[in-house]
Chain A
Amino acid sequence: MTTETGKSRLIEDMKMHSGQDPNGCYQCGKCSAACPVSAALDLKPHQVLRYLQMGLENELAESKTPWVCASCFTCAARCPRDIDLARVMEGLRLSILRNRGGNKFGPAELTPEQLEKLPQQALVSGFRKYNK
C-alpha cells in the first residue's frame, strides 16, 4: 500500500525545471502508444505521469524509463493535453542526477571499437543526457 508522503523534492524540481504539470494528464496513453521504445520501458510514459501525479518518487528514481527515453519528441508532438513529455523525462533525469548523485554513463564504459566508429554526435549527446 502506498501512503501519502507529502511533497517530493525530486518531483517539485522536475516540475519547476521542465515547466510541465503532470496533473494535466488524463491517462489516455497516446504517448505510450506512440513511443518508439515503449516496449523496452518498465514504466510506460503515461505511467510516469501517473506516478508523478501520485508523488511516487522512489519508484520513478529506480525506473529505467527516463534513461531509455531517446528524446525523439514523438510523445510531445501527439499529446492531446499539450504536455511536453520529452521535457518531463529530461527533468526527471536531471532531478535524479542532481538529487541522488552519480553519473549514469562515462567514456570508460565504451569499447575502443565504439570509440572509433561512433559519430561524435552520439558521444556528445550520450554524455550530455546521462551526466550532471
Chain B
Amino acid sequence: MRYRYFPGCTLKGQAKSMEDTTLAAAKAMGIELEELSEWQCCGAVYPLYEDELISLLSPVRTLAAAEGEPLVSLCAACHHVLKRAQELMQRNEDARKKVTDHLEVEYAGEGRVLHFLEVLRDDLGFDKLKEMVKKPLEGKKVAAYYGCLLLRPSKVMQFDDPENPTIMEDMIRALGAEVVKSPYRTECCGAYLSVTEEGVAADTVQRILDSARRAGAEILVTACPLCRYNLENCADNEGKTPIKVYYFSEILAEAMGLPSESAQDRGTKEEVPQG
C-alpha cells in the first residue's frame, strides 16, 4: 500500500508527534507514505465565500501534485481543506478553470483524498490492524473525540456517519482498549476561538472533558492538533479526574509496540492539567 503524503505545517511543528508516530506505525504495517516533494500550508480553513478563490490555490496545487495517486493527510484540518477543495474542483467548472489556469496545472478533481484513519479502515481493515497489534492497550478506557472537521459537511467529507461515527472507536477496539463513548465527541471544541474568545472555548472544552470524564474515559484521542491544544489548555480541571489527550496515532504506535509520545515522553512531561 503506497500513498502520497501531505503533512501540513502543524505536523512539522507543534504536532510533530502525530507525524512521527504515524510514520513509524505505517512503516510497521507496510503502509508506505511518501511525502510530497514540495508542499505548502493548506490554508487551515476552507474558504466558504464563493469568490475567495485565492485561498484555493494552495490546496489545489497540493491535490495536483499527488498526480492522481491517493493522497493521505493526518491533520483533520488539512484533510478537511483538501477534501473540500477537491469537491469544489469536481463540482464547479468555473472555479476549477480559474484556479488551475492561475496555477498552470491540470487538475479536475481526480484521485482519492484520504485521512489516515480511512486508510486503516478501508484499505488495511481494522481486523487486519488487530492482528498487527503487539501490545494491546488492555484495560485502558479510551474515548474518541472527533470534533468537526473530519465529519462535516458529511456530504463532502464522506468520512463517517456525522452524528454517530464509529471509525475511531473501531480503531480503539482493534488496539485492544476499552471504548468509552461520550455524547460530546462530535461537538466543536471552539477551534480558533481559543485565540480570540478564550472564555467561549473554555466553555466548550469544559463540556467535552466533563462529559468524557462522566463516561469514565481516561484517555481522549483526537486527529486534530488544534482540538488537542484546546482540550489541554482551555479548561479548568482543578480537582477533577485526569484525562490525557493523545493523537490517534500515538495510541496506535503504542499498541504496535513502537515508541510513542504517550508511552515514553508523556510520563516525564508535565502532566496535562486535566487532573
Contact = CB atoms under 8 A, between A and B. Distances in A.
Interface of A: 16-19, 36-37, 39-40, 67-68, 70-74, 76-77, 84, 86-87, 90-91, 94, 104-105, 110, 114, 117-126, 128-130
Given A71-B48, A76-B153, A119-B225, A37 B196 contact: no
Interface string B32-53: 0000000001011101111110
B195 interface: yes
Interface stretch (B9-17, B168-176, B259-267): B9-17
Contacts, number: 132
Contacts of B203: 37, 39-40
B45 A128 contact: yes
A117 B272 CA distance: 13
24 contacts: A17-B51, A36-B204, A68-B193, A70-B188, A70-B190, A70-B192, A73-B152, A76-B152, A76-B153, A87-B48, A94-B49, A94-B52, A104-B196, A118-B14, A118-B229, A119-B228, A121-B9, A121-B75, A122-B191, A122-B194, A122-B226, A122-B229, A125-B45, A126-B192
A104 B192 CA distance: 13
B131 interface: no
Contact of B196 (A39, A67, A72): A67
Contacts of A39: 203
A36 B196 contact: no
Contact of A129 (B41, B192, B225): B192
Main secondary structure on chain A at its contact with chain B? helix
A36 B192 CA distance: 14
Nearest to A94: B49
Given A18-B49, A70-B190, A110 B195 contact: yes
Nearest to A123: B195
Interface residues of B, number: 46
A38 to B, nearest CB: 10
B148 interface: yes
A128 B153 CA distance: 20
Contacts of A70: 188, 190-193
Contacts of B190: 36-37, 70
A128 B8 CA distance: 16
Given A18-B49, A73-B153, A36 B13 contact: no
Contacts of A94: 49, 52
Contact of A121 (B47, B154, B197, B225): B225
B195 A120 contact: no
B199 interface: yes
A21 to B, nearest CB: 14
B191 A125 contact: yes
B77 A126 contact: no
Contacts of B192: 70, 122, 125-126, 129
Nearest to B41: A124
A33 B49 CA distance: 25
A43 B190 CA distance: 18
